[in-house]
Structures are given as structure tokens and as C-alpha cells.
Chain A
């Protein structure tokens, strides 16, 4: 079975400005693939190259074994795209826009539009100009899914949606995936990618730094500990295996930890605590501490 998406040394420069450099990855058909990185890392550049909105400086990108640039219209029949920010024509009603969108695909999408709009609680008779950002996003979602695409490309899909709608949206995407659709989504929120995706590619400064199964990522994920003790402890009290970025400031000890959680638990048990918190580091921290750190130590 051919890959749903396949890129080979995909590189894009905007003049001299870096877009993406040597991005190589494959997405299996039927997979849910996450693409995460901080703003400006190259997520949208990659997606826009896949969609042939921009053209690569070098390297190749293929979708369903078709060349993204040469066969763009052929590919587009099977791809649904939800842009990060949705913009639509002035003065159009939601229904007009969706019908217009459907008219590009040679199939009847009427029932599907009604079903999707019903689930997203989207009023088809409203003017798009009058919609809130979140509701415009819903138009984008229906628009991207109305032709039952084989590949769904989502660029920061949940921004602007309230948590309830996010849940409905995730259910919808999971349902599409069960139907057989491949999902490629970009995000800067690790949580939502972890929740949906099978594998994740992490992009930073235009380069792919890591491609991991979500299950593996979870195992290797760091926790950030903030500890305040009642009595001073030796500065190296928490300097056990797996601890990184240890900062001791009087009674407070801050560090990142990865490894067997029991070693820290044992240490904690031996100390008299005043306050304590352990949290998931945000994505920025993972980049700052984990990936750059790993590059240094190796």
C-alpha cells in the first residue's frame, strides 16, 4: 500500500528566509499523524507545500504516490483541508459557501453537509460575515470534510473552538479515521496531538527533530517538579539519575525529571515538604530542555 504522504528532503526557502530544511517523513494510510512545533517552526510551510499552495525549493512531496505539485488537482479530489485561519468571500451565506465548495467535487454532498452542520451546531442560513471566529472555524471544518476525503489535513484545528466543540470535533475526526481516512494535523499543543495521534513528528527551526510513536513519547516524557521543603536540604539531595536542570534556591528545588518515578518518590518521602507540584512541561520546555539538551549530551 502506498504511503498517504511521503516527503523526501523537502526544503523551502522564502528568498533567504528559512521555511523548512530537509524534511523527510512518511505517513501510513489510515494513520493519525501529528505535526507539532512552536510558532514559526515550519508547520504551515510544510502543509502549504503538501497542498501545492507554495512550491518546494528542493526535495519532493507525494500524496497517494502522486506528485504534490504536478498532480495537485488530482490530489485535491481526495484531500480535505482545514486552514488555521479561515477566510471566506464577503456576503455569502454558510449554505452558499458549502454548496460552492461541494460544486468542485463530482459527488452529491447535500446529506453530508446537513449531517456535519447538525453535529457542529452550525446554522446554514447565517451570513459568514456575522459569524464569530469559532463558528467560522466550524464552516471550515464542514467545508474540509463534506466530500469524505481520504486524507484530512488540519492546520491548528482547535484554535478558537470551545472545549465542548473541540470534543465534538475530535469525535468527528476519529470517526473519519475509522472510516479509513488518514489524518495529518499540525498543532502547538502537545496534549491534543497526544490524545488523537498515533505518531508525532516534532519540527523545530525548520528541521524535523524527532519522529516518535505517541506511546513512546509518553514514556520518555519529562515532568517538571517544584518542591519547597520545610527544612534546608543538601543542594544535591535531588541530584539522582534522570534529573535535569536542577535549580536550588534556599528551600525550593526545581528540576525536570524523566525516568522511574519511584526514585523521586523515595527522595520525596525522605524529605519534609512544605509544598510540592509536578506538572507536564509545556511544549516550549520540551524543546528547550529535552531536545536541545539531548543534542548537547550526545
Chain B
């Protein structure tokens, strides 16, 4: 196993997310698996974000909804809360499955690392959701949502692999997959402050932008 580790080309390790020093430990192995949960979770969140407002445009139901006696801000808040509930539910289920599983292999000291790794799913989802939400509120119409969410997430994912192999630190700012690096969590037992702050700022910006766009939006007839 360790031989396999040393002979694998670094680019491949990067793409597969094999950054952990100690690949043989339970949390080390898990930190590698988490990447794929992050990938799927990000797609789900981006999809939610892209669809949640634009769906009213593509279905043509915006005319119905926006001529009802509710303000646009309230409509958007309701949508935001609904999406946040779905994301929260995803995370609850994910934690209920993974925490007992990993802890059955690892000692209880691993709990903090595990919590940090798992929470990165929630944060990453929030970033991708906020990005999709803003675009969704601004776009005239998104015919099909999935290409957008897949495109955004895989581009970020590829950029993340590139950032690892090229060892270019600046690149890490461009992809949310680098904000909560499993490598850093494993080594230091914490997030990197600069990226955690950046993540929070991005989420707030995305949601604020969505409100600004949606309140000013012109609802053209289909």
C-alpha cells in the first residue's frame, strides 16, 4: 500500500484527493473519501441554487407568483429558507451515517478532525448554493439547470487538483474545494482562517446579490 502511494504520480494523487500523509489511518482514509461527498454535495447545492428562482421563469409561473400580495424580498426569503432546510437535512443525514461509521474504526480523539471534515461539506454547499442562487436570481431564464451546476462544480474541482499539483498558493483562492483543505485539517486540526473568512464573505455576497438582482428583476413574458 505505501509502495503504491509513493509510485503514484502526484497529479493523479491530487485528482483523487490523496493528500493525506497518513493514508492508512481511519481519519486519513476518510479524509480522502470526504472529497467525493463534497463533490456530490456541491452539485446538489449548486443545483438547488441555480433552480430555485429560475424555475419560476422557465415554468412561466413567475407571473402567477409575483402578482400575489407578497413582496419579492419575502418570496426570495421563503425560497432561501426552503433551500437551506434541504441543505441542512442533507448534512444531518450525512453525519448520522458517517460519524458512527468512522468512529467505529478510529479512536475518540479523532472526533474533532471528523467534525471539521464533515462541516466542510456544509460550508462548501453553502458557497455553491449562494453562487447558484445569485445567478438564478439574475438570469433571464436558465433552460436546463444541471449543465450549469455540473460545469461550475467540476471546473472548481479540476482547478483544485491543478492548485495542488502546481503548488501555486494563489490558485487556491479560486476554488472552494481548497478552502477547507483536508490536508490542513489533518495536519493542524483547524481550518485556515483566511479561507474560512473568504468562504463566509462569498456566501453573504452571493445571497445579498440574489436579493439585489431579484428585487430589480424584469419579468418578461415567455
Contacts and interface: CB of A to CB of B under 8 A. Distances in A.
Given A84-B221, A143-B64, A105 B69 contact: yes
A81 interface: yes
Interface stretch (B1-9, B55-63, B158-166): B55-63
Contacts of B222: 85, 87
A57 to B, nearest CB: 11
B31 to A, nearest CB: 41
Interface in B47-104: 59-64, 66-71
A55 interface: yes
Given A55-B218, A84-B221, A104 B68 contact: yes
B60 A54 contact: no
Nearest to A53: B219
A101 B67 contact: no
A73 B61 contact: no
Contact of B69 (A54, A76, A88, A89): A76
B50 to A, nearest CB: 18
Contacts of B68: 76, 101, 104
A54 B219 contact: yes
Interface in B202-222: 216, 218-222
Interface in B155-198: none
Contact of B221 (A48, A52, A105): A48
Contact of A54 (B59, B71, B218): B218
A242 B87 CA distance: 73
A88 B68 CA distance: 14
In this complex, the member of B69, B71, B219 whose beta carbon has the largest number of chain A beta carbons within 10 angstroms is: B69
Interface string B13-47: 00000000000000000000000000000000000
Interface in A36-74: 44, 48, 51-55, 72-74
A104 B218 CA distance: 22
A87 B66 CA distance: 13
Contacts of B70: 73, 76, 104
In this complex, the member of A52, A73, A105 whose beta carbon has the largest number of chain B beta carbons within 10 angstroms is: A73
Q: Is the interface of A mostly helix, strand, loop or mixed?
A: loop
A55 B216 CA distance: 8
A12 B28 CA distance: 61
A90 interface: yes
Interface residues of A, number: 27
B221 A89 contact: no
Q: Is the interface of B mostly helix, strand, loop or mixed?
A: loop
A79 interface: yes
A83 interface: yes
In this complex, the member of B64, B70, B71, B219 whose beta carbon has the largest number of chain A beta carbons within 10 angstroms is: B64
Contact of B64 (A72, A77, A79, A101): A101
A185 to B, nearest CB: 16
A62 B191 CA distance: 54
Nearest to B70: A73
Contacts of B64: 83, 86-88, 101, 143
A52 B69 CA distance: 11
B61 A77 contact: no
A73 B71 CA distance: 6
A133 to B, nearest CB: 13
A89 B61 CA distance: 7
A87 B59 CA distance: 7
Given A83-B63, A90-B59, A104 B219 contact: no
B218 A51 contact: no
In this complex, the member of A14, A53, A83, A90 whose beta carbon has the largest number of chain B beta carbons within 10 angstroms is: A53
Contact of B71 (A53, A72, A89, A143): A72
Interface of A: 14, 44, 48, 51-55, 72-74, 76-77, 79, 81, 83-90, 101, 104-105, 143
28 contacts: A14-B218, A51-B66, A51-B67, A52-B66, A53-B66, A53-B219, A54-B219, A54-B220, A55-B216, A55-B218, A72-B71, A74-B69, A76-B67, A76-B68, A76-B69, A77-B69, A81-B63, A81-B67, A83-B63, A84-B221, A85-B221, A87-B61, A87-B64, A88-B59, A88-B64, A89-B61, A104-B68, A104-B69
